[in-house]
Chain A
Amino acid sequence: MKFGNALKTGAALAIALSLTTAPLAFAAQQKGDLQIFSWWTGVASSKALRGIIHVFNEQYPGIKVTNDAVAGGAGSNAKAILASRMEAGNPPGTFQVHAGGGSLLSWVQAGDMQPLNSLYQSQGWYKAFPKSLLNLLTINGKIYAVPVDMQRGNVTWYNPSVFKKYHLAVPATFQQFFADAAVLKRHGITPLALANHGNWEATLLFSDVLLGTVGPVKYDQLLTGKAPWSIPGVQAAANTFVRMMAYTNTDYSALHWQQADQLVAQGKAAMNVMGDWAQGYFTTALHLKPGVGFGWAATPGTRGVFGAVADVFGLPSKLTDKTPTLDFLKVLGSKRAQDVFNPLKGTFSPRLDSNAKLYDAYSREAMQSYKRDKLVLVIGQGAVNPGFTNSFNNAMEIFVTNHNVKQFVSALESAAQSNPLS
Chain B
Amino acid sequence: MKGWTHASQGARMSVRRRFSWDQFSAVATLIPSLILLGVFVYGFIVWTGYVSLTNWNSFIPNFSFAGLQNYINVFGTFRFQSDLRNIVVFTALFIIGCLIVGMGLALLIDQRVRAEGLFRSIFIFPMAISFVVTGVIWSWILNPGTGVNLVLKAFGWKTLPSWFLSTTIVPNITLGQIQVGIPLALLAVLIAAVWQMSGFAMAVYLAGLRGISDDIKEAARIDGAGAVRMFWSIILPQLKSTTTTIVIILSAASLKVFGLIYAMTGPGQEFVTDMPSLNMFQTTFQGDQFAQGAAIAIVLLLLLAVFIIPYLISTLRQDSSS
Cross-chain contact B271 with A106 (CB below 8 angstroms): no
Please indicate the chain A residues that have their CB under 8 angstroms from the CB of B139 in the complex. Answer: 254
Q: List 26 A-B contacts (CB under 8 A).
A: A3-B7, A4-B1, A6-B28, A10-B25, A10-B28, A10-B29, A10-B31, A13-B33, A79-B285, A83-B59, A110-B59, A254-B145, A254-B165, A386-B58, A386-B287, A389-B286, A390-B286, A390-B287, A390-B288, A394-B78, A397-B79, A397-B269, A397-B270, A401-B269, A402-B270, A419-B57
Contact with B along A357-388 (1 / 0, CB 8 A): 00000000000000000000000000001110
* Contact indicator per residue, chain A 261-283, by CB within 8 Å of chain B (1) or not (0): 00000000000000000000000
Cβ 8 A contact of B59, one of A76, A112, A390: A112
Whether B114 sits at the interface, judged by CB under 8 Å, is: no
Q: Which of B274-298 contact A (CB under 8 A)?
A: 281-289
Kindly state the separation between the CA atoms of A111 and B287 in the bound complex, as whole angstroms.
18
A1 at the interface (CB under 8 A from B): yes
Partner of A1, one of B4, B79, B288: B4
Closest 6 CB pairs of A and B: A390-B287, A80-B285, A6-B25, A3-B3, A14-B32, A4-B3
A121 at the interface (CB under 8 A from B): no
Residues of B within 8 A of A386 (CB): 58-59, 286-288
B231 to chain A, nearest CB (A): 42
**Measured between alpha carbons, how far is A390 from B58 in the docked complex, in Å?**
12
**Does B119 interact with chain A (Cβ within 8 Å)?**
no
Find the residue from B24, B78, B282, B286 having the highest chain A CB count within 10 A: B286
Whether the Cβ atoms of A199 and B286 lie closer than 8 Å is: no
Q: How far is the CB of A413 from chain B (nearest CB, A)?
A: 15
**Chain B residues within an 8 Å CB radius of A197:** 266
A107 to B59, CA, bound (A): 7
- Asked if A183 lies at the interface with its beta carbon under 8 angstroms from chain B, I say no
Q: Are B3 and A2 in contact (CB under 8 A)?
A: yes
B59 touches A199 (CB 8 A): no
**Beta-carbon nearest neighbor of B4 in chain A:** A1
Given known contacts A2-B21, A3-B3, A398 and B271 CB-to-CB distance under 8 angstroms = yes
For A17, list chain B residues within 8 Å (CB): 32-33, 36
Q: Let me know if A253 is at the binding interface, CB within 8 A.
A: yes
A387 touches B29 (CB 8 A): no
Q: How far is the CA of A87 from the CA of B78 in the complex (A)?
A: 29
Question: In whole angstroms, how far apart are the Cα atoms of A198 and B269 in the complex?
Answer: 11
CA of A385 to CA of B143, assembled, Å: 34
Chain A, Cβ-Cβ closest to B283: A390
Inter-chain CA distance A418–B292, complex, in Å, is: 12
With the chains together, A107 CA to B73 CA distance in Å? 25
* Contacting pair B287 A387 (CB below 8 A): yes
Q: Quick check: is B173 within 8 A (CB to CB) of the other chain?
A: no
A1 touches B165 (CB 8 A): no
- Is the beta-carbon distance between A387 and B3 smaller than 8 angstroms? no
Known: A5-B3, A76-B286. A253 touches B268 (CB 8 A): yes
Verify B281–A10 contact, CB threshold 8 A.
Answer: no
Residue among B26, B167, B269 facing the most chain A CB atoms (10 A cut-off): B269
A14-B32, A394-B77 are contacts. A251–B144 as well, Cβ < 8 Å?
yes
Residues of B within 8 A of A6 (CB): 25-26, 28-29
Which listed residue, A14, A253, A397, touches B165 by the CB 8 Å rule? A253
Q: Which of A3, A21, A389 has its CB near the most chain B CB atoms (within 10 A)?
A: A3
**Chain A interface mostly:** helix
Q: Does residue A45 face the partner (Cβ distance < 8 Å to B)?
A: no
Q: Is the CB of B25 within 8 A of A2?
A: yes
Q: Which residue of A lies closest to B167 (CB)?
A: A401
A284 contacts the other chain (Cβ, under 8 Å)?
no
Q: Which residue of B lies closest to A9 (CB)?
A: B29
A residues at B contact (CB < 8 Å): 1-7, 9-10, 13-14, 17-18, 21, 76, 79-80, 83-84, 86-87, 106-107, 109-112, 197-199, 251, 253-254, 385-387, 389-391, 393-394, 397-398, 400-402, 418-419
- Chain B minimum-CB-distance residue to A107: B59
How far is B61's CA from A83's CA once the two chains are assembled, in angstroms? 12
A residues less than 8 Å from B21 (CB atoms): 2-3
CA distance A17 to B57 in the complex (A): 33
Q: How far is the CA of A14 from the CA of B29 in the complex (A)?
A: 9
The answer to whether A398 touches B285, judged by C-beta atoms less than 8 angstroms apart, is no
- In the complex, which residues 59-85 of chain B have their Cβ closer than 8 Å to any Cβ of chain A? 59-61, 73, 77-79
Report chain B residues within 8 Å CB of A394: 77-79
Excluding A1-B1, A254-B143, 8 further A-B contacts by CB distance (< 8 Å) are A2-B3, A3-B21, A199-B266, A199-B267, A251-B144, A253-B268, A254-B139, A390-B286
Q: Are B266 and A2 in contact (CB under 8 A)?
A: no
Q: How far is the CB of B288 from chain A (nearest CB, A)?
A: 4
- Residue interface bits B247-272, CB-to-A below 8 A is 1, else 0: 00000000000000000001111110
* Mask: chain B, 1-41; 1 = CB below 8 Å from A; 0 = not: 11110110000000000000110111011111100100010
User: For the complex, what is the distance from the CA of A323 to the CA of B83, rounded to whole Å?
Assistant: 47
Residue from the list B2, B270, B285 in contact with A83, Cβ < 8 A: B285
**Contact residues of B between 114 and 140, Cβ < 8 Å to A:** 139
Cβ-closest chain B residue relative to A81: B285
**How far, in angstroms, from A293 to B287 measured CA to CA in the complex?**
39
Contacts of A76 in B (CB 8 A): 286
Q: A86–B290 Cα gap in the complex (Å)?
A: 14
Question: Cβ of B24: which chain A residues have Cβ within 8 Å of it?
Answer: 3
Q: Which of A1, A110, A390, A393 contacts B7 (CB 8 A)?
A: A1
Given contacts A109-B59, A391-B287, contact A21 B78 (CB under 8 A): no
Which of B7, B24, B61, B285 has the largest count of A CB atoms less than 10 A from its CB?
B285
Measured CA separation A72–B24 after assembly (Å)? 49
Contact yes or no, B58 A1, CB < 8 A? no
